[in-house]
Amino acid sequence: MIGVCKETEQNEKRVTITPEGVKKLTGEGQEIVVESGAGVDSSYSDEAYTEAGATIEPSREKILSECDILLAVQAPAVEDLKKMKPGSVLISFIWPLQNSDYVDVLKELNISGLAMDTIPRISRAQSMDALSSMSNIAGYKAALLGANQLDKYLPMMMTAAGTIPPAKVLVLGAGVAGLQAIATAKRLGAVVEAFDIRSAVKEQIESLGASFIEAEEDAGEDSETKGGYAKEQTESDKEKQQQLVHDHVAKSDIVITTALVPGRPAPKLIPKAMVDDMKAGSVIVDIAAEQGGNCELTKAGETVLHNGVSIMGPLNIPSMLAFHASKLYSKNQLSLLDLLLENGKPNFNFDDEIIVNATVTHNGELISPFVKENMQ
């Protein structure tokens, strides 16, 4: 039995699997039990799940205690884990590098924990890459949040009263979220610049119509990990990067920051002194707010006003687009289940690069080489 419970974390509106996903699984002979109201916040009704072949169950405790596999978006509370039976499987975001105590609980309870956030970024795993799916949404929404907060037009406007120049948008970090922020800001008519320590992304940035801010001597290939992430930088490197982007930040109407380092606090790209030089009315949208923020003045979950500059620290941005975020995440989980299940039951094939890295715990042991290598 595969169980789906309503998300309990504050401001979490996503659901782990959509009725469309349920229909696929029931068509393969799986029994799906969904907690009543699990999809309501993302506009998926109980009736839609019933029509897709799921059983609606009002008792959360019954689902937790009886399911063989529990699907979730956010890692369930420890109280929920304790209600699950030994040997059962949890598939969700777990963030094991930041939550070692949670990993210990999974081991103690003999729950096999598969983390959607430790799936390797390889071609074969693209359909399961929930991090990219959610980052894409975050980049799109960040551009809209910035546009909404700004008290100016984004596109150039030619009117009878005169011509209004386009707004200037700067995106720091050109991963999946950054590239989508660039594309969205361009579609809204802004003039867009972008900076990333990885010179390899220059072509991608320019293909979207943005200008790449380039150092005289870039960091080269050493600035990127095997997984395509930016490496953590030395203090000297950070200082050089801040000097490089300072003038660009000061001239921008909107700055969108997206820089993250797996398992580490977000790098500080914008110190207070840099914000002091920004124009009144300009906006910073800090996508990395949950990991400490890329701006020194960011406060998670708040919009701070400093010398007329709005510094936004939005939390759980994908949940703001819960309908499509759920749809994409559901497809990511279905792809992982296709790989994991054999004859309808979990088969932990640790010769498979995806399965071994996604499996944080199994049979009371820590499994994932990625987690072992990076856990502090």
Catalytic residues: 121, 126, 129, 132, 229
Query: What tokens were used for 111?
Result: 């729950």
Per DSSP bridges, beta strands 211-212 and 89-92 are unpaired
- Give yes or no for a contact between 148 and 155, defined as CB atoms under 8 angstroms apart: no
Per DSSP bridges, beta strands 254-257 and 283-286 are parallel
Please name the residue that has the structure tokens 């953590």: 232
- 3-class secondary-structure state, position 325: helix
As a whole number of angstroms, the distance between CA 107 and CA 206 comes to 46
What angle, rounded to 10 degrees, do the helices at 322-340 and 19-27 form? 20
As a whole number of angstroms, the distance between CA 27 and CA 123 comes to 27
- Give yes or no for a contact between 130 and 91, defined as CB atoms under 8 angstroms apart: no
Q: What are the φ and ψ backbone dihedral angles of 58, each rounded to 5 degrees?
A: -70, -20
The percent of the chain in helix, strand and coil, each rounded to the nearest 5, is: 40, 20, 40
Looking at the DSSP bridge assignments, the partners of residue 132 are none
Contacts of 287 (CB under 8 A, 6+ apart): 138, 139, 142, 177, 181, 256, 257, 258, 294, 314, 317
Which of 73, 77, 82 lies closest to 117 in space, CA to CA? 73
Q: What are the φ and ψ backbone dihedral angles of 257, each rounded to 5 degrees?
A: -110, 135
Per DSSP bridges, beta strands 341-342 and 365-366 are unpaired
Q: What is the DSSP string of 138-186?
A: HHHHHHHHHHHHSSS-SS-EEETTEEEPPPEEEEE--SHHHHHHHHHHH
